[in-house]
Amino acid sequence: MHSAAMAGSWPTPSMRTESELGDLDATRLAEPALIRFTSFDGLSVPAFVYRPTGASPIARLPVIIDIHGGPESQSRPGWNPGAQYFADTLNAVVILPNVRGSDGYGSHYLSLDNAEKREDSVKDIGALLDWIAAQPGLDPDRVSVYGQSYGGYMSLAVMSHYSDRLVGGVARYGISNWISFLQNTEAYRRDNRRAEYGDERDPAMRAVFERISPLNNVARITKPMLVMQGANDPRVPQSESDQVVRELRANGADTSYVLFADEGHGFLKKANNDLRREVETVFLRRLFGSE
The 10s digit of each residue's pLDDT in 45-91 is: 999 999 998 877 778 999 999 999 887 788 888 888 889 999 999 99
pLDDT at 16: 58
How far is 225 from 279, CA to CA, in rounded Å?
A: 12
Q: What average pLDDT does the segment 258-286 reach?
A: 93
Output Rg (C-alpha) for the chain, integer angstroms.
Answer: 20
For residue 14, being part of any structural domain is answered with no
Domain holding 99: CATH number? 3.40.50.1820
Query: What is the β-pairing status of strands 168-172 and 225-230?
Result: parallel
Which residues fall within 8 angstroms of residue 234, CB to CB, at 6 or more apart?
Answer: 185, 186, 264, 265
| 96 pLDDT above the threshold of 70 | yes
228: left (phi over 0), alpha (psi -120 to 50) or beta: beta
- Pairwise CA distance, residues 124 & 151, whole Å: 13
Cis peptide before 234 (omega within 30 of 0): no
**Least confident span in 16-25, 163-172, 241-250, 269-278:** 16-25
* Distance from C-alpha of 103 to C-alpha of 228, rounded to nearest angstrom: 26
Closest CA to 144 of 225, 64, 212: 64
Is 94 strand, coil or helix? Answer: strand
Q: How confident is the model at residue 4 (pLDDT cuts 50, 70, 90)?
A: very low
Residue 6 has pLDDT above 50, yes or no: no
Amino acid 187: pLDDT: 83
* C-alpha neighbours within 13 Å on the C-beta side of residue 280: 24
Does 124 fall in a domain? Answer: yes
Q: How many domains does the chain have?
A: 1
Whether pTM exceeds 0.85:
yes
Q: Is residue 76 part of a domain?
A: yes
- Does residue 151 surpass a pLDDT of 80? yes
**If you average pLDDT over residues 13-21, what whole number do you get?**
60
| Residue 140 host element (H or E) | strand 138-148
Q: Can you give the pLDDT at residue 13? A: 55
How large a percentage of the chain has pLDDT more than 70? Answer: 91
Residue 222 located in a structural domain:
yes
Contact 157, 211 (CB under 8 A): no
Position 79 in a domain: yes
In terms of residue numbers, what domain contains 134? 34-288
Q: Is the pLDDT of residue 9 over 50?
A: no
Write the CA distances from 157 to 14, 29, 67, 121, 232, integer angstroms.
52, 31, 12, 10, 24
The DSSP letter of residue 266 is B
**Does 14 have pLDDT greater than 70?**
no
Residue 1 lies in a domain: no
- Measuring CA to CA, how many Å separate 150 from each of 55, 100, 154, 201, 218? 32, 13, 6, 21, 17
Residue 12 lies in a domain: no
Q: Is residue 273 part of a domain?
A: yes
